[in-house]
Chain A
């Protein structure tokens, strides 16, 4: 497989150590967690770091824990860990759904949630869930820490608010105060591993409060505020759904690429949102819904 480009490798044992390295090397260093994006990028010449900082030994980063009304997901937490964690399944079902759709088991056993949102491709599956749950991203540098709300994270395709001397250390999700449910609906070209051609996260809580977000349908993942306004506080009806569907054209701006056409993405989004809303309500009622079945896939 041979990487032509060579680099140095460091395996800090603490966050402080890692940040010191980053302070010295800045853009010439890259954080290595799962490596499932980074190694490919180095191989294909898209990235040529001088130093890789492997954070997998930093114990504080490898946990999911609950703390004062928040779930905290460390930067080293893999998608498999997310999938197997009962807290995530209980409180953040949309994130659980999304984790199940990322690539394959072999990738999920290594790829991290933090890495996923740092790579920030427009089709990343975790974004709609994080947007629906108002995630807060904790970044640290050698000199300071800051909290970035998820809505300010994605700046452009493959570009985030993270500074060159910063590490995304953990992602905190406020546990929804009221009863809630939701679903992540993903369109892939086939069952099995695929990038999202379109992805919709639907969050529903008491009194018909909705948060809707999408990925792969705009330069960056976003909340669909207009749709939320049309839905909030109202009992879902055929009439409301029609209103919602009519808004989709103005909420998203898909493109045509090798995976799908603009027209198809617009069309299928309407199907996904309509069915997703019904599915979220079913789940809210306590009924089981298999996300794969929503678009007619067979489990």
Chain B
């Protein structure tokens, strides 16, 4: 293990002095002067109701009340992963606490008085406060327009129900797996909602200045995401929206994404020239901010007597609240990983995101994993006990290793899990009896495994700027948020280590989206890794600039130069010590009085390029974090090379007939593969980027790919727009026929994800053979996908005499492929002559066709030619 100077050492927190001296500024501490207005919310007192009327007249008359706003002023939908949420309730309220109106006043007292006088008339609707109730077929539907909500492609809402997203993961064959099990344990685990209860409540201030530029100060883990959502919702350019993040008094996930911050942001657009502040009371914090989703998890596990888990059926029903724009991602993350850190061959996971008339669920440290693992680990411990197997040994047996497949079919990377199990078991002396010395105290010991995968989009990125000041102190300009976890300090340690500048000489502050470069969010337990990599790159960039400059001026080879204690030094010249402060802004003065270099400004960026969210909506297979290139099923290089060679031979023979000249034919396997790239070369030139893996679909025609029917896959090739219209009628979908997203082939190809989301559920309703029948009748090109067994028994293939028999000396009677070249002068035969042995026809060929003498044949034999 390398010895570091600042990494792995205890350093003073970058933000400690600010926080201990009272200097740290949090959202509510910022002064805005005389132009500050205060907003107070009017919230729903019903769990589910139609808003019949809102009477703001009495409120408006209160002295000090400036304006009163309701949903009709801001009919915007917003949301991080799905847009299902309103800035203010529109026609309905969906949970107690949902914001209906805002009273904006010149003092907080006036705002409160005004809010108390806003009269709302409700027509109560039946409410569902339990996800299992919400799933019943007669349950009231909270979002009748669910089918129209824009959302990320990896979510699957079920229109007409309260299911906002259903992540299905299917691996192997659970039914078969359960048959092998000698113990089947089934039970249900329930975890309720939790509140983050950060000591600082949510607070945000919005200000629209007279130039139309919007600034929002918010206590947030996600300033760039907030800027993005505000810009989208308000139709503004990102450069005209600025989010400034002060210190945050605790987040834990509750200040991720966007919740109440959007309210002062939109209010500001109607209060030009003013700053308007909304600060949540502790009560509002409990009822109208994100909470941990509640869950009811049904686990059925099949285990062999020896303790191998052979099947798992894990159904999780999440109480996700009235709006799931963030919470649905918790459901998604768990749906992909609810096998826990175990290697299980046969898995069925259903993770269902259910709307309920309760506060919206969202991110909370652990992101669903704590809740899911409570159930799974409890279950495993019970199973182990029932089988009489030590629960740690049971876990060792089943723990996932490098190379094992996860539930969604990706290979596990090396993970150190077995080593960790051993280390912990050792540390707590597992296996040795635990004896309490105090007769009134009982001692207990438990063991469980925990794994967490950050549920991030595949392109979550971090950036860093690094600049030196004249005295060689550093400003590290990054957009992650220190919410108490020590982020600023850790980033400083990374830069410090690379540049050999102590962390105490590095300033890291909370970001301003105008000045600080892009950071996705400070969530998902990923910021040390992601932002750390960006900072590392920025520091390396700075180091490179510094060393290059010194090399350029002093001629020392770069690999002899190094940084130490805020100076550049040289391994081969111990007298060379150039303090950074001498040149990192001013440059280096050379002999002739000119300066070289200048201010050292560096940058770094990190975005993973190996991760994908593409996967089958019914099984989650196919999405490929860690996806490798795939080998084509047969030896394309060899086969195409031999075909092209045969064609070349025929051409040469024909050429000889007309010219009498022979020639050399040079055919390579590599060239043949290039020759069959079809239109990929031209596409690359037309689109300017290399074609990417597409799965089984056609690159430029849609829909033209394999689809899953109720039983298996089949292929449909809707080659043009006429065929598309016929196709829509054939599958009885008027909606698709008239959908403007799919009217042309170009549109269908561009919107292929959405198109497939429409087609998949339709195809799932009938079997493959039924669909083929329907489509054939309609004249739509389609075909079954046959396996080799089906190929060898296919009526058309047999009729074409493509399966023939040959008698082999060793293998006996064998079926092989027939000759695809059917020539009118050569009758078809069901039998093939067997392959001759080497040299079997020497006599006929050499003495017959070539008329060689016996001696000549002997000579050829002697020299090993034949």
- A and B touch in their complex, CB below 8 angstroms: yes
We find that the number of chain B residues with CB closer than 8 angstroms to chain A is 8
B108 at the A interface (CB under 8 A)? yes
User: Which of B109-117, B688-696, B751-759, B794-802 lies at the interface?
Assistant: B109-117
Could you give, for residues 1-20 of chain A, a 1 whenever the CB lies within 8 Å of some chain B CB and a 0 otherwise? 01110100000000000000
* Assembly CA distance A4 to B440 (angstroms): 53
Give B91-115 interface residues, CB cut-off 8 Å to A.
Answer: 107-109, 111-113
* Assembly CA distance A2 to B108 (angstroms): 6
CB distance from B708 to the nearest CB of A (A): 51
List residues of chain A with CB within 8 A of the CB of B107.
2
Could you give, for residues 471-496 of chain B, a 1 whenever the CB lies within 8 Å of some chain A CB and a 0 otherwise? 00000000000000000000000000
* Assembly CA distance A6 to B111 (angstroms): 14
List residues of chain A with CB within 8 A of the CB of B440.
296
CB distance from B101 to the nearest CB of A (A): 16
* Assembly CA distance A102 to B108 (angstroms): 32
List residues of chain A with CB within 8 A of the CB of B112.
2, 4
Shortest Cβ distance from B283 into A: residue: A44
CB distance from A46 to the nearest CB of B (A): 14
List residues of chain B with CB within 8 A of the CB of A2.
107-109, 111-112
List residues of chain A with CB within 8 A of the CB of B108.
2
List residues of chain B with CB within 8 A of the CB of A3.
109
* Assembly CA distance A259 to B109 (angstroms): 32
* Assembly CA distance A144 to B124 (angstroms): 55
CB distance from B28 to the nearest CB of A (A): 11
* Assembly CA distance A6 to B63 (angstroms): 14
List residues of chain B with CB within 8 A of the CB of A4.
109, 112-113, 116
Shortest Cβ distance from B111 into A: residue: A2
List residues of chain A with CB within 8 A of the CB of B116.
4
List residues of chain A with CB within 8 A of the CB of B111.
2
* Assembly CA distance A2 to B39 (angstroms): 12
* Assembly CA distance A296 to B116 (angstroms): 46
Residue with the highest number of chain B CB atoms closer than 10 Å, among A2, A3, A6, A296: A2
CB distance from A56 to the nearest CB of B (A): 24
Could you give, for residues 42-81 of chain B, a 1 whenever the CB lies within 8 Å of some chain A CB and a 0 otherwise? 0000000000000000000000000000000000000000
Residue with the highest number of chain B CB atoms closer than 10 Å, among A3, A4, A6, A296: A4
* Assembly CA distance A90 to B303 (angstroms): 67
Shortest Cβ distance from B440 into A: residue: A296
Could you give, for residues 770-793 of chain B, a 1 whenever the CB lies within 8 Å of some chain A CB and a 0 otherwise? 000000000000000000000000
Could you give, for residues 430-452 of chain B, a 1 whenever the CB lies within 8 Å of some chain A CB and a 0 otherwise? 00000000001000000000000
CB distance from B588 to the nearest CB of A (A): 58
* Assembly CA distance A3 to B108 (angstroms): 8
Give A1-51 interface residues, CB cut-off 8 Å to B.
Answer: 2-4, 6
* Assembly CA distance A3 to B113 (angstroms): 9
Shortest Cβ distance from B38 into A: residue: A2
List residues of chain B with CB within 8 A of the CB of A296.
440
* Assembly CA distance A3 to B109 (angstroms): 6
* Assembly CA distance A2 to B110 (angstroms): 9
* Assembly CA distance A2 to B111 (angstroms): 10
Give A97-143 interface residues, CB cut-off 8 Å to B.
Answer: none
Shortest Cβ distance from A3 into B: residue: B109
Shortest Cβ distance from A296 into B: residue: B440
CB distance from A48 to the nearest CB of B (A): 12
List residues of chain B with CB within 8 A of the CB of A6.
109
* Assembly CA distance A6 to B440 (angstroms): 55
Give A166-221 interface residues, CB cut-off 8 Å to B.
Answer: none
Could you give, for residues 109-133 of chain B, a 1 whenever the CB lies within 8 Å of some chain A CB and a 0 otherwise? 1011100100000000000000000
CB distance from A192 to the nearest CB of B (A): 15
CB distance from A9 to the nearest CB of B (A): 15
* Assembly CA distance A43 to B499 (angstroms): 55
Shortest Cβ distance from B114 into A: residue: A4
CB distance from A274 to the nearest CB of B (A): 15
* Assembly CA distance A137 to B508 (angstroms): 61
CB distance from A259 to the nearest CB of B (A): 17
List residues of chain A with CB within 8 A of the CB of B109.
2-4, 6
CB distance from A299 to the nearest CB of B (A): 16
Shortest Cβ distance from A2 into B: residue: B108
* Assembly CA distance A6 to B112 (angstroms): 12
Shortest Cβ distance from A6 into B: residue: B109
* Assembly CA distance A4 to B117 (angstroms): 12
CB distance from A216 to the nearest CB of B (A): 24
CB distance from B689 to the nearest CB of A (A): 57
* Assembly CA distance A4 to B107 (angstroms): 10
Could you give, for residues 272-299 of chain A, a 1 whenever the CB lies within 8 Å of some chain B CB and a 0 otherwise? 0000000000000000000000001000
Shortest Cβ distance from B116 into A: residue: A4
CB distance from A246 to the nearest CB of B (A): 25
* Assembly CA distance A2 to B103 (angstroms): 15
Shortest Cβ distance from B112 into A: residue: A4
CB distance from A164 to the nearest CB of B (A): 26
Shortest Cβ distance from B108 into A: residue: A2
* Assembly CA distance A251 to B109 (angstroms): 47
* Assembly CA distance A133 to B116 (angstroms): 46
Could you give, for residues 518-554 of chain B, a 1 whenever the CB lies within 8 Å of some chain A CB and a 0 otherwise? 0000000000000000000000000000000000000
* Assembly CA distance A6 to B109 (angstroms): 9
List residues of chain A with CB within 8 A of the CB of B113.
4
* Assembly CA distance A219 to B107 (angstroms): 41
CB distance from A297 to the nearest CB of B (A): 13
Shortest Cβ distance from B62 into A: residue: A4
* Assembly CA distance A106 to B279 (angstroms): 25
Shortest Cβ distance from B441 into A: residue: A296
CB distance from A292 to the nearest CB of B (A): 16
CB distance from A153 to the nearest CB of B (A): 32
Could you give, for residues 75-112 of chain A, a 1 whenever the CB lies within 8 Å of some chain B CB and a 0 otherwise? 00000000000000000000000000000000000000
* Assembly CA distance A40 to B116 (angstroms): 17
CB distance from B477 to the nearest CB of A (A): 36
CB distance from B460 to the nearest CB of A (A): 39
* Assembly CA distance A296 to B440 (angstroms): 10
CB distance from A284 to the nearest CB of B (A): 24
* Assembly CA distance A3 to B112 (angstroms): 8
CB distance from A293 to the nearest CB of B (A): 12
CB distance from B705 to the nearest CB of A (A): 57
Could you give, for residues 499-526 of chain B, a 1 whenever the CB lies within 8 Å of some chain A CB and a 0 otherwise? 0000000000000000000000000000
* Assembly CA distance A4 to B111 (angstroms): 8
* Assembly CA distance A67 to B116 (angstroms): 51
* Assembly CA distance A4 to B281 (angstroms): 14
* Assembly CA distance A14 to B115 (angstroms): 40
Could you give, for residues 337-350 of chain B, a 1 whenever the CB lies within 8 Å of some chain A CB and a 0 otherwise? 00000000000000
Shortest Cβ distance from B281 into A: residue: A1
CB distance from A295 to the nearest CB of B (A): 12
* Assembly CA distance A296 to B441 (angstroms): 10
* Assembly CA distance A4 to B108 (angstroms): 8
* Assembly CA distance A18 to B112 (angstroms): 31
CB distance from B42 to the nearest CB of A (A): 14
Shortest Cβ distance from A44 into B: residue: B283
* Assembly CA distance A6 to B64 (angstroms): 14
CB distance from B40 to the nearest CB of A (A): 9
CB distance from B202 to the nearest CB of A (A): 16
* Assembly CA distance A296 to B112 (angstroms): 45
CB distance from B437 to the nearest CB of A (A): 16
* Assembly CA distance A186 to B618 (angstroms): 57
* Assembly CA distance A4 to B109 (angstroms): 5
* Assembly CA distance A2 to B64 (angstroms): 14
12 CB-based A-B contacts, threshold 8 Å: A2-B107, A2-B108, A2-B109, A2-B111, A2-B112, A3-B109, A4-B109, A4-B112, A4-B113, A4-B116, A6-B109, A296-B440
* Further 9 A-B residue pairs, CB within 8 A, beyond A2-B109, A2-B111, A4-B113: A2-B107, A2-B108, A2-B112, A3-B109, A4-B109, A4-B112, A4-B116, A6-B109, A296-B440
Chain B interface (Cβ < 8 Å from any Cβ of A): 107-109, 111-113, 116, 440
Chain A interface (Cβ < 8 Å from any Cβ of B): 2-4, 6, 296
Give the 9 A-B CB pairs with smallest separation, nearest first: A2-B108, A4-B112, A4-B113, A2-B109, A4-B109, A2-B112, A4-B116, A3-B109, A6-B109
